[in-house]
Structure formats: C-alpha cells, structure tokens
Amino acid sequence: MQSWQLPEHVADVLPTNARQLESAREQLLTLFRVHGYELVQPPLMEYSHSLLTHIDAGLSLKTILVVDQLSGRQLGIRADITPQVARIDAHLLSANQGINRLCYAGPVLHARPEGLLNMREPLQAGAEMYGFADIQADIELIDLMLKSMKIADMGEVLLSLGHIGVFRALSDAAHL
C-alpha cells in the first residue's frame, strides 16, 4: 500500500472544482449576509456531548470520536454544523435577547458516506434563525433555502412541506 493514498470516500479537490466550490460558498455567504445573517465559524472538533444532541440520534453514527490527548475526554469531529450553531446561539449569544440570524459554511466529516457515491468530507452551508417562532421565519428560511439551491445549481427542486403537528395528530388518531 502506498503511503499517499487517501481513505475511501475521501478525495482531494483539484483546482477547477476547488474554484467552483469556493465561488459557490462565497455566493451563499453573500446571500446570507444580504438577508441579515451573521457568519459564525465553530471549531471542527469539540467535546462529543456538545455535538451529539437528542434531536438527531443518527448523528452519533456519523460522528467520528477520538480521545483528547490533553484532557482524556472524548472529542467528536463534527458531522453536522447545525448543533454547534445552536450551542453558539444558546450559550454565547443568549444575552442578545432577540432574534439571532446566523450562517455558516465549512467542512464536516462523516464516519461513513451517506451513499455509495457520496464523499465523507462534504462542505455544509446553512442559515439558522433563533428567537422568532412566527410563520414569517419559516417563510424567510424557505425562501433563503430555495435561493441557495439555485446558487448551488441543484437543478430542479421539489419542495415538500410538512408539519410535525399533522404527523402527531395522525399518529394519535391511529393509536400509534
């Protein structure tokens, strides 16, 4: 085995693709900024209990865990930036007492690829709004998501909306 081989589903991004990826990232961050979202950059790793939330149990299967050689505690390499942004809002920006619009763009690392042709180190970009539970927040974020999909050249997008309240009502009616 050659020492310069990369792990399966991990690849270098070569110049042409790197330029395209960076251009799309810049355009997304510009879009978010124009809509009032502030950029945050959480660390690539942190203590695993902060990364692994009860909201997404499947996240623990995606997260690569290592032992911190300084503290002996368990670290996780982020598989999703969203819980980190929620932590930033709840603990570092909670004094704002208002609406926080936060955005991010950075690499994540998955223990396993999500599909046969997927990479284990995708770029994740997104925007989150905290402190505003009105329908207008949903409309704003859906609009931002659709604009983001266009920038990322995702092709034709089918938007399917649901509400957990509908699911719960159907589950209750079916006695599930």
Domain ranges of the chain: 15-173
Cα distances (angstroms) measured from residue 57 to each of 54, 70, 144: 6, 28, 27
Task: State residue 73's pLDDT score.
Answer: 96
The predicted model gives 63-75 an average pLDDT of: 95
Task: Kindly tell me the sign of the dihedral angle through the C-alpha atoms of 114, 116, 120, 123.
Answer: negative
Task: State residue 133's pLDDT score.
Answer: 87
Contact 25, 123 (CB under 8 A): yes
Distance between CA 48 and CA 52 in Å, rounded?
6
Q: Which residues pair with 101 in a beta bridge?
A: 129
Longest dimension (CA), the chain: 60
| ∠ CA 31-37-40, rounded to 5° | 110
Give, in words, the CATH class of 15-173. alpha beta
Residue 114 makes CB contacts below 8 A (sequence gap 6+) with 62
Max mean pLDDT among 36-45, 93-102, 157-166 falls in 36-45
Average pLDDT, the chain: 91
Least-confidence region, from 98-107, 137-146, 154-163: 154-163
Residue 52 or 10, more confident = 10
Distance between CA 113 and CA 109 in Å, rounded?
9
Task: State residue 37's pLDDT score.
Answer: 97
Query: For residue 10, is pLDDT > 80?
Result: yes
The encoded tokens of residue 99 equal 């609406």
